[in-house]
Structure 1
Amino acid sequence: MTDVLLEIHAQVLRGMGNRPRRFEDWAALTASEDFPDADLSEETFWDRLLADAESGGELTAAWSKALTAWDYDEQAAWTQEAPRTQARRAAAYDRLQFGDDLRKALTAAVPVAELPGPVVIATEHTPWYTPERAAARSFYWKAYEQKLRDKGWSDAAIASLDEASRAVVERLTDPEQPERRQAKGLVVGYVQSGKTANFTGVTAKAVDAGYRLVIVLGGTLNLLRAQTQRRLDMELIGQENILRGADPRDPDSLVGVDYIGDDDDWPDFVQHHGRPSELQAFDIERLTTRDRDYMSLAQGIRALEFEKRVPASPLYAPANLHHAAARVMVVKKNKSVLTKLVKDLKQIHGLLGELPALIIDDESDQASVNTSDPKKWEQGSPERTAINGLLSQVLGLLPRAQYVGYTATPFANVFVDPGDTADIFPNDFLISLPRPQGYMGVQEFHDLDSPVPPEERTVANSQAKAHVRGIWDGEDDRLQEAMDGFVLSGAVKLYRADHGVADGPFRHHTMLVHQSVRKDHHAELALRLNSMWHQAGYASSEGHVRLAALWESDFKQVSDARAADLPNPGTYDDLRPYISRARQLITKGGNPVIIVNGDSDKYFEQLGLDFDRTPNVWKILVGGTKLSRGFTVEGLTVTYYRRMTRQADTLMQMGRWFGFRPGYQDLVRLYIGRQEPMTKTSTGDLYEAFEAICRDEELFRAELKQYSDLVDGKPQVVPAEVPPLVAQHLPWIKPSARNKMFNAELVEIRSPGKAIEPSVYPESADALTRNTERWRPLLQTFTEEPVTFGPADGHRAFSALTSRVSHGELLAVLRQLEWARAGHFEPHLHYLAQLDGRLATVDDWLLIAPQLIASDRAVAPILGSVPLSLVRRTRQSGKPSFSRIAGVDHSALASWLIATAADSPSDGQPSAGTITIGPRTGVALLYPVVEAKKDSEVAAAITRGQADPSKVVMAFTLIPPKSANGPGKRLVRFRTRSTYDTTSAIVDASGA
């Protein structure tokens, strides 16, 4: 029986396409032809939505797909409202002309995904990848999109991928254009966050648009390369292109065809329902297979010969391009493999100059970056490391090649010399992908700027309490506890699978132990783990007593607080039957422990760790470097991690515990090396190191976001100006290896409405005294009676002394200050100096000196001022920087004041008690800081009732008004150093 309402709505939504229109008219027109008696009232639609809400009906699914597509459309010509906002959704409803009740029902059924989109830093480009052109040729993209739906991807996730992959493709060169041009870009994701999905989407759209050679650089091991090959084969290339006419029912015709017969997932490979070339599309020919890397062109040079429909026209002419088969190869980043590729390309004459090609470099900061010391190069003659040199040769041989690097740790790539046009610096674009929903990253293991005091944190409101277990020096190393947690979490997964949770995410269950790079240490650790396992007594009453105690004290509490919507055992007795099954799965095939530290592909083949082809991997993995880059540990639930490194990108790549944990986020545990503050050495605290690099990376992404908006239609920042945005929060954790870092100088930072918080204060008593003396004129202006501020934005109220000073008075002090590192404050000072009317006008500043509320607080006058609270802060180990100055509540209130004043009339409005500020008033938080380990030590800085100026750091945080940027709204200005005087990515035709 025909579902009339569904049929009408489906036809209407297909007809509307990429823009909503008046639904009543379109529905009536559709119904008049086939269903003249259909009930098209909003009430009927509303009733159906309510019924669908319980059954997940097809009508809701159809509207979900359409509404989400309209929500996400960055190129929408039918509205000016920003994507992924309630305003954009309202604009769609307005065009549909739906009533309030139907709007509410639809929004309840299909909530607006108010998520950030990709951030693009790019040079100007000629738009070519229009919605119309993308829609006209979308054979492989539609196949990939449907595959993702079949895998359970939500409409919002697919729309987000659609948007992010489009952002990459539109920055490439038009494959049909006559001029030869190479574009080079970098896509920055998160560790284990779905970068492969993005470049698969980019590949689909690129080949649809006309790119006819795709080279994917897929890791440094055959295992990693094969995983990438299989992913592309399964989700994009599809069965028909793999079979190439072979009959899957005839064994004789399947000789040499991979997957059939030895891959249980073959039925799930994309099916195009016919050879694409017979469906008015084009075939994809694989030049590599799952088991075979690039050896040499399979049919010699003929493999890259393209038949032209119009022989007199070049390959890139549309009449030829869109009828030619695409070639795809997934190549290992290996010297011998790439050397063979270069050799073969050199033998092809003429065609390469016409061939639109795409090079995708997965983990592009590994092996691809040139680490040769520029100081040792001969003038004008760069020396290149092996992989970098071969990659440069490939780019030189393919003048129409586009290079797109993918990485989660971009610092090495942005430090490449931007003037070396033969290298891989992303001169044309840098795209930061949004953080996906359901992803567990550093933020899920750290309480970054949490307003909850440490003593009030619980497993419900603290990420660290829920997921992190410290391994403190000198105490129990908790290895047995971690192993017990591995068994318990495996049992919970089995329990959930038996109680209605899809067991797909529980196919693999792993524990990772990583505390050394030395192979002899791995062997010793594996032996210890095996011994511990056999002595753990998981089938004995003693073992169950221990497991029950850990369940009650840890897992039960976290699961009750964070996974109440999932089936959880009420008592350990409910879980106990699943312990035995978990133990059996872990010991299946022999020992529970696998060492992963080999250098050869053959070694990895023997391990049985191909997560794609192995039904169930339930093991404890011990290793070092091989587990820290590109190797995805599926089902990772418990991590025991103690290895330190001094490079931020290397450390972040070791975070194998990052990723998607559907159905078991609450079970994830990180056992990580810790050190007491008093005993920290130069190697530092591992947990603190991860928090620091998290702040570095999030600051980098925030800076990219801030400077991504166009000003007068032009980019504020181009990729060559990105290096100075890289931050460093800990002295012993560098952004990248020293031989990968390019130097660039930041001249000016404009911070309208943003906090400026310098941290590198001098340490000598004389310098501190001089700085405090310079603040004297302003200290003497503070009121005697405190003012109460807040609460604001969920943060608590506090009291403070206040003062008003002119912009000139504050600037006079700031100009005289000394710093521990020369030039530290210069980019900010350069900006502030222009707020006297040249760039913008700041009338005055509200100085706020927060008062502490502790009963034992230290209060004292400073150089004759009213009594001020002395604040305790500590410097970072081995560095003159303080990790934080302003209190969370204080900075939140100050930001709220600035934001409120920006929309207030020029004469100001009450913002906090009797305090008023206008839109041209800045806020300065002032802290007399005493460097001390304990609060009780602060009082030692008070002598004869006065604070000792030689022991006080006059620290501050400034927030200029939002208006303090001038009409140009340009936020940064750089001076970069480049070894070559060129910025163009244009390749001279004669250079091919």
Structure 2
Amino acid sequence: MSDMLLKIHTSALDGLGDNPRPFGKWAALAAEDDYPDADLSEAEFCVQLAEDKERGGALTALWARVLTAWDFAESPPWSPDTTARTAQRRIAVYHRLRIGDAMREALDVAVPVAEVPGATVIAREHTPWYTRERAKARSFYWQAYERTLRRKGWSETAIASLDEASRAVVERLTDPEQAARRQAKGLVVGYVQSGKTANFTGVTAKALDAGYRLVIVLGGTLNLLRAQTQRRLDMELIGQENILRGADPDDLDSLVGIDYVGDDEDWPDFVSHGVRPSTLQAFDIERLTTREKDYKSLDQGIRALEFEKREPTLPLYDPANLHRAAARVMVVKKNKRVLERLIGDLKQIHGILGELPALVIDDESDQASVNTSDPKKWEKDGAQRSAINGLISKLLTLLPRAQYVGYTATPFANVFVDPGDAEDIFPSDFLISLPPPDGYMGARDFHDLDSPLEPGQRTFANSQQKTHVRDVGVGSYDRLQEAMDAFVLSGALKLYRSDHGVPDKPFRHHTMLVHESVKMDDHAELALRINSMWHQAGYTSTAGHDRLAALWSTDFAPVSAARAADLPNPASYDELRPYTSRARQLIGQGGNPVVVVNGDTDRYFDQLGLDFDRTPNVWKILVGGTKLSRGFTVEGLTVTYYRRTTRQGDTLMQMGRWFGFRPGYRDLVRLYIGRVEALTKTVSVDLYDAFEAVCRDEELFREQLAAYAELVDGKPQVTPDQVPPLVYQHLPWVKPTSRNKMFNAELVEVRSPGRAIEPAAYPQDSAALSRNTERWSPLLGKLSHQPVMFTRRVQDGRASAGSFSALTARISHADLLGVLSKLEWEAEGIFRPHLGYLEQLDGRLAIVDEWLLISPQLSGSDRIEASVLGSVPLSLVRRTRQAGKPSFGRIAGVLHREVAQGLIDTADGSDTQSVAGPAVGSHTGVALIYPVVEGKDSSDVRAAITGGVADPRELVMAFTLIPPRSAIGSSGRLVRFQVKDSRHHGEAIVATP
């Protein structure tokens, strides 16, 4: 019955296509001729679906593919009012299929709704051209890529997410068939080592299908990196037949000069189209670069770049010519000589270039591509460009129909490019932020951002930091040996899991990264030290095994029990011991477990044996610096020992090689990182906190983009040239990017209706603190003498119940604004964008009648109270500013902030009474106020009190504001900018609401 049912359902669902309709009728029609007696009842379907996994899961996969496509459809005509990827959309699908409760429940279990975020798009208005119908009509290479991803084990959700994100890019390119010349420039922002290549491979597939006939991928600054990208495109997109170009794979003589065949064990896994695509009425792809050869002056002459026209009297971009012409694809280094050769060859065929739809994809577009020339040194006749930037500019000038798409995980250098320089690579048309893909380990997986738990309450089960992060230690407490032991143990656990069926394929590579310095001499010394430690570690001795057993029992065993209970794990170290011996042998093979990676030449990298695609097994400890911090993917990275400082946020994030995908061994990942390292002779920093700060910078940037991505009256709230002011930094010494890449822009206003405003950069000068406290004094005097209770109720299991008491007051907007407008800050102007918004809430946007001022009281023994300039006794709150920071990481308590947000949401009607407390009207804001004393423990707080009175010089009057949701104008716009733009000769350009 299972095969019969699969055939019937396949036929029925194929018939439905993009439009869910009564399934029972289509299934009966599909069964009518060949299977008239088939049991098509929903009860039988539920039985078959429950047993499907044991038979290979084909029925489940079929329904997953179709349901996921319907779940992801954007504004489909059959359900325009439901949001994609929601339970409401799935219900709408079931309703149109007219299936019963039993079948719905069975499908929900087998194919849960993927409530995953979509890509965030900030873009100019564009003319829609890449319709669903057009994309479906020409989709040869995209469909081949989809099949490849399924064969590799990608889930339907992951494929649908990639389909959606790559479509968001392609639809904002220029229609390759249109007569008018137009270049679009955009930027796609992913995460470090998050699979950006998959996205631009999807974009390339769809762009080729749509009609782009020249694709140039700028892939890295080393042959090794370029070759990795070339192989990926060859394997997953271009395919065997295009690589062979008619050669017989069984005829050795005909294979001379053709890469992969015979020397790449994965050749059978390269996508196969069956025959040359042109035979199937598609089009062939000619590679102008190979795995081994970067772009050179073409061996076969300039004819390789000539495009034949079926209709000579029509331009190439005419559909009659375009879709019959072969495409050219090349992957080139960002290298001056290589790009000069390419530009020289293109100049020789200038006649056709004006008709040629081309796509330039710039991988790691913030590296080398950005112009770092100082504008102050430019001549009057125009911009001066750094080498690679200038050559990219020439390339785009030569190809007037070229579209430029940059890819990066650290976008700040790109968004700071001068938007007034039309020949530069500023993403003037679109900026797309990709969501983290399923299974990805990023910065959030190593930090407990905004965790309400105190350090003592954190466990392996509820704390990312406790699970994955270890201090490197200092001096005699240096934990490098422990990190090496962790490397051996994690390797042993991988081998154990491989023997017990996880993953389906054995763990191919296993690596450890040690990164302490950028100096090559330091690398040599460190490698020698590690090699000596390895040979003295005694891994075959009783003492060595005792050390490994102790680390396993105190670290790896409890972490795996909490985080990977569903994976095979040994019950004792004795069970693991044989695998530690095997891991030691693999790591130490060749007599040296260490590989130094710090060269500058391709020849150097060729000698290392670190081609993870070609090398069967790399089990090594890698020592290096800058060369390991961008582009170079360290496969199988499990243990990192890191203690290098830097002053640039994008550089810091790119050094996070421990980010990425860790299937089957996520729980084994360990980061040994410096907690206190010297930045200068007088300043010490916490590297782990620095990563957390940069993570917050990145998250805030993405959150801001998401907030402003929604269209208002069908038009974008912001365009890419208004993005630079959305870039923030949480640490004063970690800039978003290097100074020579930063463009000057100023944020004038941030409107935050219904959202928290929590400034953190308060003054450190005692006199300024005292003056700020005096400014708050009139409002503190209005606080009630009797506390009131606030409660957070349990709702849908989302949060545990909690309550607190607080002193409150009702204050006018004018009174609050009178205080806020006079406050002093550590950095001038830091609060000005918020203040500019609050100043308008007196009737021009929407009236804010009043604010509920809340001064939370701490509970029990934690409470230390004091009067502040004659106020009723208030609970003093302790917060700390870590070394090098002018700001606090968090002000409001998690419970306090959630309750305050709940009051606002309840007043707006968007909540169903999840909190209890004083009534808040729809035109009332909530203000949390905290008298903060800096200190490490309660004794510091008590030291700020004399005779029950707090010293105003020791107080930071910190606050969190949540305006009512009604506090926004009819336009719905949230931001206003002031941006310096070279098109206006350095004057401020104000984009008003």
Fold match by TM threshold 0.5:
yes
Q: Give me the whole-angstrom Cα distance separating, in 2, the residues matched to 1:620 and 1:808.
A: 63
**What is the CA-CA distance between 1:937 and the residue it aligns to?**
1.2
The equivalent residue for 2:77 is 77
167-176 or 786-795, which deviates more: 786-795
**What is the CA-CA distance between 1:505 and the residue it aligns to?**
6.1
Gaps of 5+ in 1: 984-992
Corresponding letter in the other structure for 2:18:
N
831-840 or 604-613, which deviates more: 831-840
CA contact (8 A) 2:560 2:667 kept: yes
849-858 or 292-301, which deviates more: 849-858
293-302 or 874-883, which deviates more: 874-883
The equivalent residue for 1:510 is 511
Structure 2 vs 1, CA of residues 425 and 310 (structure 1 numbering), >3 Å: closer, same or farther?
same
Corresponding letter in the other structure for 1:47:
V
CA contact (8 A) 1:419 1:982 kept: no
Structure 2 vs 1, CA of residues 950 and 307 (structure 1 numbering), >3 Å: closer, same or farther?
same
Corresponding letter in the other structure for 2:592:
N
Helix, strand or coil at the partner of 2:821: helix
CA contact (8 A) 2:123 2:719 kept: yes
Q: Give me the whole-angstrom Cα distance separating, in 2, the residues matched to 1:624 and 1:706.
A: 37
CA contact (8 A) 2:677 2:687 kept: no
CA contact (8 A) 2:858 2:875 kept: yes
Query: Is 1:152 matched with 2:175?
Result: no
- Which of residues 891, 894, 898 is equivalent to 2:897? 891
Q: Give me the whole-angstrom Cα distance separating, in 2, the residues matched to 1:735 and 1:322.
A: 44
**What is the CA-CA distance between 1:33 and the residue it aligns to?**
3.6
CA contact (8 A) 1:795 1:889 kept: no
Corresponding letter in the other structure for 1:827:
P
Structure 2 vs 1, CA of residues 617 and 834 (structure 1 numbering), >3 Å: closer, same or farther?
same
The equivalent residue for 2:181 is 180
Superposed CA offset, 1:384-435 (max 9, x none): 0000000000000000000000000000000000110100000000000011
CA contact (8 A) 1:191 1:658 kept: yes
CA contact (8 A) 1:910 1:917 kept: no
Corresponding letter in the other structure for 1:639:
T
Superposed CA offset, 1:914-969 (max 9, x none): 51112221110001122333321112222333222232221111001122112211
- Superposed counterparts of 1:246-395, under 5 Å: 246-395=247-396
Query: Is 1:867 matched with 2:867?
Result: no
CA contact (8 A) 1:695 1:729 kept: yes
Query: Is 1:956 matched with 2:953?
Result: no
- Which of residues 940, 945, 955 is equivalent to 1:942? 945
930-939 or 110-119, which deviates more: 930-939
**What is the CA-CA distance between 1:133 and the residue it aligns to?**
0.4
**What is the CA-CA distance between 1:683 and the residue it aligns to?**
4.7
The equivalent residue for 2:591 is 590
The equivalent residue for 1:212 is 213
CA contact (8 A) 2:365 2:408 kept: yes
The equivalent residue for 1:988 is none
- Superposed counterparts of 1:626-637, under 5 Å: 626-637=627-638
Query: Is 1:980 matched with 2:983?
Result: yes
The equivalent residue for 1:638 is 639
The equivalent residue for 1:805 is 811
CA contact (8 A) 1:682 1:732 kept: no
Q: Give me the whole-angstrom Cα distance separating, in 2, the residues matched to 1:627 and 1:709.
A: 38
Q: Give me the whole-angstrom Cα distance separating, in 2, the residues matched to 1:214 and 1:682.
A: 48
CA contact (8 A) 2:792 2:915 kept: no
**TM-score, normalised with respect to structure 1:** 0.97
917-926 or 559-568, which deviates more: 917-926
Superposed CA offset, 1:305-337 (max 9, x none): 111111100000000000000000000000110
641-650 or 2-11, which deviates more: 2-11
The equivalent residue for 2:223 is 222
CA contact (8 A) 2:75 2:84 kept: no
Structure 2 vs 1, CA of residues 981 and 245 (structure 1 numbering), >3 Å: closer, same or farther?
farther
**What is the CA-CA distance between 1:858 and the residue it aligns to?**
2.5
Q: Give me the whole-angstrom Cα distance separating, in 1, the residues matched to 2:901 and 2:678.
A: 31
The equivalent residue for 2:38 is 38
Q: Give me the whole-angstrom Cα distance separating, in 2, the residues matched to 1:564 and 1:936.
A: 43
Gaps of 5+ in 2: 794-798, 987-993
Q: Which runs of 4+ in 1 moved over 6 A?
A: 676-680
Q: Give me the whole-angstrom Cα distance separating, in 1, the residues matched to 2:681 and 2:93.
A: 57
Superposed CA offset, 1:4-59 (max 9, x none): 22111101111212221111222222222433332222222222112214444311
The equivalent residue for 1:25 is 25
**TM-score, normalised with respect to structure 2:** 0.97
Superposed CA offset, 1:60-101 (max 9, x none): 110010001111122522212111111111111011011111
The equivalent residue for 1:968 is 971
Helix, strand or coil at the partner of 2:301: strand
CA contact (8 A) 1:860 1:867 kept: yes
**What is the CA-CA distance between 1:495 and the residue it aligns to?**
0.5
- Superposed counterparts of 1:579-978, under 5 Å: 579-675=580-676, 682-792=683-793, 793-794=799-800, 796-853=802-859, 855=861, 857-903=863-909, 913-978=916-981
Q: Give me the whole-angstrom Cα distance separating, in 1, the residues matched to 2:766 and 2:568.
A: 61
38-47 or 917-926, which deviates more: 38-47
Q: Give me the whole-angstrom Cα distance separating, in 1, the residues matched to 2:77 and 2:811.
A: 48
The equivalent residue for 1:90 is 91
Superposed CA offset, 1:143-202 (max 9, x none): 010001110111111111111100110110000000000000000000000000000000
**What is the CA-CA distance between 1:679 and the residue it aligns to?**
12
Corresponding letter in the other structure for 1:896:
G
Query: Is 1:455 matched with 2:461?
Result: no
Corresponding letter in the other structure for 2:957:
M
Q: Percent identity?
A: 72
Helix, strand or coil at the partner of 2:21: coil
Q: Give me the whole-angstrom Cα distance separating, in 2, the residues matched to 1:184 and 1:172.
A: 8
**What is the CA-CA distance between 1:794 and the residue it aligns to?**
2.9
Corresponding letter in the other structure for 2:692:
E
Helix, strand or coil at the partner of 1:892: helix
The number of residues matched between the two structures is: 980
CA contact (8 A) 2:902 2:915 kept: no
Corresponding letter in the other structure for 2:766:
A
CA contact (8 A) 1:505 1:662 kept: no
Q: Give me the whole-angstrom Cα distance separating, in 2, the residues matched to 1:504 and 1:211.
A: 37
Structure 2 vs 1, CA of residues 158 and 678 (structure 1 numbering), >3 Å: closer, same or farther?
closer
**What is the CA-CA distance between 1:772 and the residue it aligns to?**
1.9
Structure 2 vs 1, CA of residues 46 and 878 (structure 1 numbering), >3 Å: closer, same or farther?
closer
Q: Give me the whole-angstrom Cα distance separating, in 2, the residues matched to 1:55 and 1:921.
A: 60
CA contact (8 A) 1:505 1:635 kept: no
Q: Give me the whole-angstrom Cα distance separating, in 1, the residues matched to 2:842 and 2:120.
A: 33
The equivalent residue for 2:106 is 105
665-674 or 71-80, which deviates more: 71-80
Q: Give me the whole-angstrom Cα distance separating, in 2, the residues matched to 1:662 and 1:678.
A: 36
- Superposed counterparts of 1:546-557, under 5 Å: 546-557=547-558
CA contact (8 A) 1:642 1:672 kept: yes
CA contact (8 A) 1:910 1:916 kept: no
Q: Give me the whole-angstrom Cα distance separating, in 2, the residues matched to 1:680 and 1:447.
A: 30
Superposed CA offset, 1:440-476 (max 9, x none): 1111111111122111111111111111101233451
Helix, strand or coil at the partner of 1:797: strand
Q: Give me the whole-angstrom Cα distance separating, in 2, the residues matched to 1:759 and 1:249.
A: 68
536-545 or 939-948, which deviates more: 939-948
Q: CA RMSD in A?
A: 1.8
CA contact (8 A) 1:75 1:131 kept: no
The equivalent residue for 1:987 is none
Corresponding letter in the other structure for 2:9:
H
CA contact (8 A) 2:212 2:357 kept: yes
The equivalent residue for 1:986 is none
Q: Give me the whole-angstrom Cα distance separating, in 2, the residues matched to 1:737 and 1:677.
A: 20
CA contact (8 A) 1:226 1:291 kept: yes
Superposed CA offset, 1:713-766 (max 9, x none): 000010000001111001111100000011111111000111111122233333
**What is the CA-CA distance between 1:233 and the residue it aligns to?**
0.3
